[in-house]
Chains A and B, each alone.
Chain A
């Protein structure tokens, strides 16, 4: 795969507890050298990132309830309102994993509907089901709930997990092309990215885009 073509499947960003503003600026200036699709930063840096990406066409991704999924619905809605205010293009919203693992899918359905409503036409909603911690049965049930809530884009995992190729196969088999799939979790090499794209991922989400591009032509 050619570098430019691969870069046009990549969503990336920089999110770390001890991240200072200078490092965000440097990271964004470097990212602007490539035609990446989208870039995520934490809330304190969204306005800065919006300015720095102005006119580039790179989408700005705002995290919501990221990455643990432990925030209340009200807090998530507050984060969505902020994302709209700063002019973000899309959100990466962690779902309520404790509810999912408890089999409480009615709560997950209600909450996901509310997130989608709050985003409205202002933001594209990408939810994070965190496949890494789910059984196959939970993955499928959850994806039906996500569709029922009116959301059709998923980012497979959040921080600190590993994307399994078989998850992409599972979702494509069950749902065809109903979902836009962003493969994420531990994707570090060109080979990993190419495999996940061949299996049906629409996008690759990686915090290490330059190592992912390294072996591309």
Chain B
């Protein structure tokens, strides 16, 4: 996809409208959901605790409820993350964004990371499933290896960041991830994307989904 071909509604359809602040209120979740419907965002990305409210507010709309799993450290057991995933789905989550076990990955325990990704893939069935690599903590070689494990595990999207790390998405990381996974796996850029220009640069680098809190400013910056 080339960013020059996008209009407001096709750009909105690439955005996960995100609210993960520790001090968010029910009104913030309500606002998020109403905005997502109004602008036609792909999903609202929220903590599992807010799924029931979002499900009610989004009923009958095309906006999906995306649950943040294993946030923000990914430092949970496989069983723990699978439990959280299944519980989120039971409550109405329609997409799953999980943080991979970065600690095990850094220790080169690739088989544990693959087991985890496969177990979550199995738990999510047909639902869109995104693996967060937390790229700011990885070397380029590690980013490539993590993308390959995700791809081999049948993950739908490789995703750069939680938004809670030192740094968010970079154009270079998105390009590298896209080069690694080819055309059949999505790439989600997230963390620190605040302007229309940032968003379009990520799309030109190969992102097919954007995780942002500033979705409205990004859409409105595109012009009519």
Contacts and interface: CB of A to CB of B under 8 A. Distances in A.
Interface centre among A17, A42, A69, A72 (most CB of B within 10 A): A17
A68 B27 contact: no
Interface stretch (A18-26, A51-59, A202-210): A18-26
B77 A43 contact: yes
Contact of B49 (A21, A43, A67, A70): A70
Chain B, interface residues (CB within 8 Å), range: 35 or more
A75 B48 contact: yes
Nearest to B23: A133
For B20, B22, B25, B48, which residue has the most chain A Cβ atoms within 10 angstroms?
B22
A16 B22 contact: no
Give the most central of B73, B88, B91, B137: most A CB within 10 Å: B73
Contacts of A19: 75, 103, 106
Interface residues of A, number: 32
A101 interface: yes
A189 B137 CA distance: 28
B25 A101 contact: yes
B49 A71 contact: yes
A124 B169 CA distance: 40
B106 A20 contact: yes
Interface in B69-114: 71-77, 79-80, 83-84, 87-88, 91, 99, 101-104, 106-107, 109
29 contacts: A15-B75, A16-B73, A16-B103, A18-B106, A18-B134, A19-B103, A20-B106, A20-B107, A42-B75, A43-B75, A43-B80, A44-B75, A67-B72, A68-B22, A68-B72, A70-B48, A70-B68, A70-B71, A71-B48, A71-B49, A72-B84, A75-B80, A78-B80, A82-B77, A97-B23, A98-B24, A98-B49, A99-B49, A101-B24
Interface of B: 20, 22-27, 29, 46-51, 68, 71-77, 79-80, 83-84, 87-88, 91, 99, 101-104, 106-107, 109, 134, 137, 164-165
